[in-house]
Amino acid sequence: MQPVRRQTLIGQVTEQLREEILSGRWAIGARIPTEPELCELTGTSRNTIREAVQALVHAGMLERRQGSGTYVLSLGGGGAAIADYFAAANDRDLIELRQTLEVTAAGLAAQRRDEDDIEQLRALLRRRNELWAPLHVAPQHVEDAISTDIAVHRAVVAASHNALYLELYDSLLGLMDHYMRGNPIGAECSFEHEHTKLVEGVIAGDIEAAEAATEQLFAELSLRRKLPGRNFSHLPHD
């Protein structure tokens, strides 16, 4: 008998959590049990629970809310089908699609963001910039750095209050995670200034500033896309 590999265990727990959602035991909009409660229910560690929950966040089934907990967002079926279609996309196609979607979403977010959106954007931006500040992000912080960066962008799209934009964006999350693991990560490519300008524009309600900051961010990203640097493509991912 061979010991259960950690990645296999994470997959098993992820499927257990997914089943709770698909069965309706965790209804859409409901808050799921806390990490300690999930640890007790599954008999696993906090790290395993965090990774399983994060996998479902990336799948668009769960949503973390700052200071409130984790909530069921969707059943994930339609998003999963679209995600499978996008899986073969190359980096350029992904960047161009994100740019088109996120520029428009940023402008809408500047018009429609509410106090909850503002609070979440501020908290996520602060955490993101802290994680990306070191010259090279420590391996133990890579997961947080990637997920928090993605969370900032998703929060901007969510602040547009356009359900279709958010559904489409959620279908790209797995592809974005894979892309970021294969590209440099650290202060030399953190785009802190661009992310800060983007969030500030949304919070200020400045449509032009939010759209311009998003355009600038993707222009810089396109320029650096082929530059050599550290990557974390060797790390496990879903």
Whole-number percent of the chain with pLDDT over 90: 36
Q: For 100-116, what is the mean pLDDT?
A: 97
Instruction: Give the least confident one: 122-126, 169-173, 218-222.
Output: 169-173
Angle at 172 between CA 138 and CA 92, to 5 degrees: 80
For residue 227, what pLDDT is reported? 43
**73 confidence band (pLDDT: 50, 70, 90):** confident
Quickly tell me which residue has 């490519």 as its tokens. Answer: 189
- Whether the per-residue pLDDT at 11 is higher than 70: the answer is yes
Please give the share of the chain, as a percent, with pLDDT higher than 70.
Answer: 82
Q: What is the pLDDT of residue 80?
A: 53
Distance between CA 58 and CA 2 in Å, rounded?
Answer: 30
Contacts of range 45-54, beta carbons closer than 8 Å, 24 or more positions apart: 48/6, 48/9, 48/10, 48/13, 49/13, 51/10, 51/14, 51/143, 52/10, 52/13, 52/14, 52/16, 52/17, 53/17, 54/143, 54/147
Render pLDDT for 127-149 as a digit per residue (tens, 0 to 9): 999 988 887 777 777 777 888 88
| CB atoms closer than 10 angstroms to residue 120 | 21
Q: What is the mean pLDDT of residues 65-81?
A: 74
- Which pTM value belongs to this model? 0.64
Sketch out the chain's domains with CATH numbers. 6-72 (1.10.10.10), 77-224 (1.20.120.530)
pLDDT band at 90 (very low <50, low <70, confident <90, very high): confident
Q: What pLDDT was estimated at residue 185?
A: 63
16-45 confidence digits (pLDDT tens): 998 898 877 898 788 999 999 999 999 988
Q: Which string of DSSP letters, residue by residue, matches 39-69?
A: HHHHT--HHHHHHHHHHHHHTTSEEEETTTE
Question: Can you tell me the mean pLDDT for 79-100?
Answer: 71
Q: Grade residue 201 by pLDDT with cuts at 50, 70 and 90.
A: very high
